[in-house]
Structure 1
Amino acid sequence: MPGYLIFEIEVTDEAAWRHYREFAGPIMAASGGRFVLSSDRIESLEGGWQPASISVVEFPSTDDARRFYHSAGYQKVVGLRQLASRGKGILVDA
């Protein structure tokens, strides 16, 4: 069963965000991850939730998603994401 990383992100530094994506994208792809969606076109329907953007990344399994997130390679770039944005992330087992 696939596993999904879902992030609500507000980019606060565009240049730093581009730098982060240069590194994170290849690490994610090598771990079997692929974007299902990434969008800033969001309509709030209930509860007043209005994230700046949402990204959903699918992995072959929850274990694969967890391994990617906690991998040494990705953990080296998490700080870049945190410098470039504010956000929240969850792991969902389908």
Structure 2
Amino acid sequence: MSAYLVFNYRINDREAYDPYLAAVPSILEAHGAEILAADFESEGVEGDAGHVTVVLRFPSKEAAKGWYDSPEYQEIIALRLDNCDGLAVLANGVGS
């Protein structure tokens, strides 16, 4: 079953964050992820949403966790976490 990882955040330091943007696509591809949405001007409809929203599809939750925990991603994750405020949510898709 597909799984979806949804990020929503505000960038606090764009210059320090930009190397993350350059590095993350190849790591996602290596782990079978598909970028379904990536919007740097997203609009909140409810709650206090950030201006960046990214939706990723993985073959499974295990694949998503494998990407997130991979040495390649862990090497760059601080570029996002240290320069952004927000959240990430992992959810199963519907169906089999």
For normalisation by structure 1, the TM-score amounts to 0.86
The CA distance in 2 between the partners of 1:41 and 1:81, in whole Å, is 17
For normalisation by structure 2, the TM-score amounts to 0.85
SS of 2:82's equivalent in the other structure is helix
Aligned residues: 92
The answer for unaligned runs of 5 or more in structure 2 is: none
Per-residue CA shift, 1:28-86, capped at 9, x if unaligned?
Answer: 11111121111223241x4x343322111111111111100011111111111112211
SS of 1:50's equivalent in the other structure is coil
Alignment partner, residue 66 of structure 2: 67
Amino acid at match of 2:5: L
The answer for unaligned runs of 5 or more in structure 1 is: none
Q: CA deviation at 1:87?
A: 1.4
Alignment check: 8 A CA contact 2:35 2:56 kept = yes
Within 5 A, what are the aligned runs for 1:1-94?
A: 1-39=1-39, 40-44=41-45, 46=46, 48-94=47-93
SS of 2:62's equivalent in the other structure is helix
The CA distance in 2 between the partners of 1:79 and 1:50, in whole Å, is 21
RMSD between aligned alpha carbons?
1.4
| 4+ long deviations beyond 4 Å | none
Identity of aligned residues (%): 27
